[in-house]
Copies of this chain bind each other. A is one copy, B any other.
Amino acid sequence: MPDRILVINPNSTEAVTRGIDVAMEPLRMAGGPAIECVTLADGPPGIENQGHVEQVVPLIGTMVRKRDNDCSAFVIACYSDPGLHAARELTTKPVLGIAECGILTALTLGQRFGVISILRKSIPRHLRYVGQMGLNDRMAGDRAIGLGVVELADEARTFSRMAEVAAELRDEDGADVLVMGCAGMARYRDRLQRHVGLPVVEPSQAAVSMAIGRSRLNWS
């Protein structure tokens, strides 16, 4: 039985995959599952609307089928959890989404979570998903920094906007824990947490953490 978690970045931006890969480092343990991060070269540069979400679903399906024999768990590393329920029909291995696991982990760190999104148009999509998860009563708010996935590489501008939005979620919406609403924000987690004074969940780390246990326990 393989012991390998495949983290699928469904956008085609290698810098995002590299950022996730770096974020995985603390979760790599001797005797634990390998953690491999892959990019979907045929995906869009960023997943920024519902069309992008739908576009990558078959690509994720293809990847899951192709790697099903040598992986023990899959993580879909996009905050829209594209194709999550479809992928679960394709394999008996655990498949986890980073939005799902990021939010669930946040529930253990605070009573009301705030989400830092990339674009304003992402928010209704996120709200639909929080409703689907039955978690409206635990959400404080969802606010956008107004930068697309590719623009997240501009560190100064990105951090400055994240800090502003984090403070609004804390002070105006009453969040006591924050979730990063994009896999491309991983590098900013530690700094943002210190800055805002609230726990900040990096959702790819949250999902792979849960995948390690699921992989070891062989639950699906």
* Integer count of this chain's copies in the complex: 6
A100 CB within 8 Å of chain B: yes
A22 CB within 8 Å of chain B: no
A50 CB within 8 Å of chain B: yes
A134 x B131 contact (CB < 8 A) = yes
Tell me the complex Cα distance, A112–B136, Å.
12
Tell me the complex Cα distance, A189–B89, Å.
23
**In the complex, which of the residues B85, B124, B127 contacts A125, with contact meaning CB atoms closer than 8 Å?**
B85
**In the complex, which of the residues B50, B54, B131 contacts A58, with contact meaning CB atoms closer than 8 Å?**
B54
Tell me the complex Cα distance, A212–B214, Å.
12
Interface string of A191-220 (1 = CB under 8 A from B): 000000001010001101110111011111
A53 CB within 8 Å of chain B: yes
**Please, which residues of chain B bring their CB within 8 A of the CB of A219?**
109, 199, 201
Contacts of A106-150 to chain B: CB distance below 8 A: 107-112, 123-125, 127-129, 131-138, 141
**In the complex, which of the residues B57, B58, B132, B213 contacts A205, with contact meaning CB atoms closer than 8 Å?**
B213
A19 CB within 8 Å of chain B: no
Given A51-B86, A206-B213, A209-B210, A132 and B123 touching (CB < 8 A)? no
A33 closest partner in B (C-beta): B29
**Please, which residues of chain B bring their CB within 8 A of the CB of A105?**
104, 210
Chosen A-B contacts, 28 in total, with CB atoms closer than 8 Å, are A26-B216, A26-B217, A30-B31, A31-B31, A49-B89, A51-B86, A53-B86, A54-B83, A54-B86, A85-B125, A96-B108, A100-B108, A104-B108, A107-B133, A108-B210, A109-B220, A111-B124, A128-B132, A131-B137, A133-B138, A134-B135, A136-B137, A199-B220, A205-B213, A206-B213, A209-B209, A209-B217, A212-B212
